[in-house]
């Protein structure tokens, strides 16, 4: 066991060849450990004369937390000068990359640690900045500096995809007001490989990225998948005009759920005169509404219908709920032609004047993206292969219901499940 106080300090700080000069303890706040480099006086690289101390600049570095507290390493550096008048060397600052690399605001060990947290454990820069009580940029700069060295920038990595997807991702919340910064992921959707991430969610950066790939590469893209975003559509219109555009099923269903939620909140406001409170029937059924129909058991369904009876006097939320379910059923069709007709008919049906305003807006969007939505049935490529697979397999029971309805009505036309069908009204 080590009992020498100086040595104990050095062991706790854990850095080689440093003197621990002291600790600044602001009660409950960040712990500041003041150090300097220990070692013989250096000689001038130009003439070999012994150097003299010119200055002791202090840098403060974010370090790893210790004993549950955030830590800063305060490094009293040595600025050395050559006193040989005939030597061209004037002065230099002592460095030690084992403590920190030049111009880094973080210690070497903290830089490696945050890079591993982000790269291996998928943690966000924001989260780590919170944990270390430092600025977002400090962590981000370190991750970039250490991470870039690890990236194997193999040009063949990108390959020659035949189906390309663009998807927006929230990258970070920055500044005092947590302003959102977005990025665009460029994905080989057949291989399920992330090709690159570019800043923003406009079309400019993806266009620039695609332009650098060359004409032959672009001509190879047969399918282009996207969420229901105008800018991405423009990217593909411009850069890959011959590729078939495919709207991602996940985003189509998500939009139907969003419109349902908007409708629920509006009706809530109109009937109760206030925003959602936890005892309001429409607030209580918000999760049941967006749950897939086949995942509602008898109890859930009874509860939902009871809450709708209590909170939805004109049946608007119910209509939006049915609309969402019919939108999900788009992905039940296997015949691309019929799927296209179904989307077209549904888009018009949902714009019926009897429908709530949110459902009419959904209908307009479906029509605007009709070709891209129906194209999924040709291509079966998607930004979210997993989500699409889940949607497909989970639709089983609804298919059975649809089949029964078709038999009962004696029509084989698929749009008999559309919104005005008595089956949905009766549910």
At residue 141, φ and ψ (nearest 5 deg) are -60, -40
Residue 81 CB, shortest distance to Zn ion, in Å, is 9
Q: 187 burial class (0-12, 13-18, 19+ CB within 10 angstroms)?
A: buried
CA-CA distances (angstroms) from residue 375 to 63, 223, 326, 363?
53, 9, 18, 18
Residue 82 CB, shortest distance to Zn ion, in Å, is 3
81 closest CA partner among 37, 44, 40: 44
Nearer to Zn ion, 90 or 295 (CB): 90
Residue 90 CB, shortest distance to Zn ion, in Å, is 9
Q: Are 295 and 304 contacting, i.e. CB atoms less than 8 angstroms apart?
A: no
Which of helix, strand or coil describes residue 84?
coil
20 closest CA partner among 11, 10, 30: 10
Which tokens sit at 12? 């706790």
Nearer to Zn ion, 43 or 194 (CB): 43
Cα separation of the two ends of the chain: 76
Nearer to Zn ion, 87 or 367 (CB): 87
Task: Give residue 26's region: left, alpha or beta (phi > 0; psi -120 to 50).
Answer: beta
d(CA 81, CA 75) in angstroms, rounded, equals 19
Residue 75 CB, shortest distance to Zn ion, in Å, is 25
Nearer to Zn ion, 45 or 399 (CB): 45
d(CA 273, CA 413) in angstroms, rounded, equals 43
Which tokens sit at 287? 């999760």
Check residue 281 and report its DSSP letter.
Answer: H
Nearer to Zn ion, 87 or 394 (CB): 87
Contacts of residue 206, defined as CB under 8 A and 6 or more positions apart, other chains included, come to 166, 184, 186, 198, 232, 235, 239
Nearer to Zn ion, 85 or 353 (CB): 85
Q: Are 132 and 62 contacting, i.e. CB atoms less than 8 angstroms apart?
A: yes
Nearer to Zn ion, 46 or 94 (CB): 46
Nearer to Zn ion, 94 or 119 (CB): 94
Nearer to Zn ion, 39 or 42 (CB): 42
* Tokens 């550096």 sit on residue: 77
Binding residues vs Zn ion (CB under 5 A):
44, 46-47, 82, 84, 87, 89
């Amino acid at each position: 066991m080590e009992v020498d106080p100086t040595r104990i300090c050095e062991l706790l700080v854990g850095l080689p060849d440093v003197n621990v000069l002291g600790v600044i303890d602001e009660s409950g706040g960040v712990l500041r450990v003041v150090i300097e480099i220990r070692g013989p006086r250096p000689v001038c690289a130009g003439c070999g004369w012994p150097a003299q101390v010119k200055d002791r600049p202090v840098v403060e570095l974010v370090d790893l937390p210790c004993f549950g507290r955030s830590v800063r390493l305060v490094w009293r550096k040595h600025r050395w000068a050559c006193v040989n008048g005939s030597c061209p060397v004037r002065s230099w600052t002592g460095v030690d990359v084992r403590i920190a690399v030049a111009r880094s605001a973080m210690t070497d060990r903290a830089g490696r640690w945050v890079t591993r947290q982000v790269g291996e454990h998928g943690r966000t820069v924001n989260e780590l900045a919170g944990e270390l009580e430092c600025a977002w940029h400090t962590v981000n700069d370190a991750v970039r500096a250490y991470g870039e060295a690890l990236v194997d920038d193999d040009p063949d990595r990108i390959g020659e995809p035949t189906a390309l997807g663009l998807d927006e991702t929230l990258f970070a919340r920055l500044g005092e007001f947590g302003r959102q910064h977005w990025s665009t992921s460029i994905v080989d959707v057949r291989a399920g490989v992330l090709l690159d991430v570019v800043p923003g969610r406009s079309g400019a950066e993806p266009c620039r990225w695609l332009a650098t790939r060359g004409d032959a590469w672009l001509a190879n893209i047969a399918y282009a998948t996207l969420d229901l975003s105008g800018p991405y559509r423009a990217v593909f219109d411009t850069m890959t005009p011959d590729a078939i555009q495919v709207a991602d099923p996940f985003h189509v269903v998500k939009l139907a759920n969003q419109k349902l939620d908007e409708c629920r909140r509006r009706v809530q406001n109109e009937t109760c005169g206030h925003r959602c409170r936890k005892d309001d029937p429409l607030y209580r059924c918000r999760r049941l509404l967006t749950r897939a129909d086949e995942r509602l058991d008898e109890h859930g369904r009874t509860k939902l219908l009871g809450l709708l009876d209590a909170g939805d006097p004109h049946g608007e939320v119910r209509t939006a709920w049915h609309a969402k379910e019919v939108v999900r059923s788009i992905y039940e069709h296997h015949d691309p032609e019929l799927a296209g007709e179904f989307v077209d008919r549904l888009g018009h049906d949902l714009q019926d004047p009897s429908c709530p305003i949110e459902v009419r807006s959904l209908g307009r969007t479906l029509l605007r993206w009709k070709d891209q939505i129906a194209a999924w049935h040709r291509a079966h490529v998607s930004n979210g292969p997993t989500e699409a697979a889940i949607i497909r397999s989970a639709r089983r029971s609804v298919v059975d219901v649809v089949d029964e309805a078709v038999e009962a009505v004696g029509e084989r036309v698929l749009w008999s499940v559309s919104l005005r069908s008595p089956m949905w009204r009766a549910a």
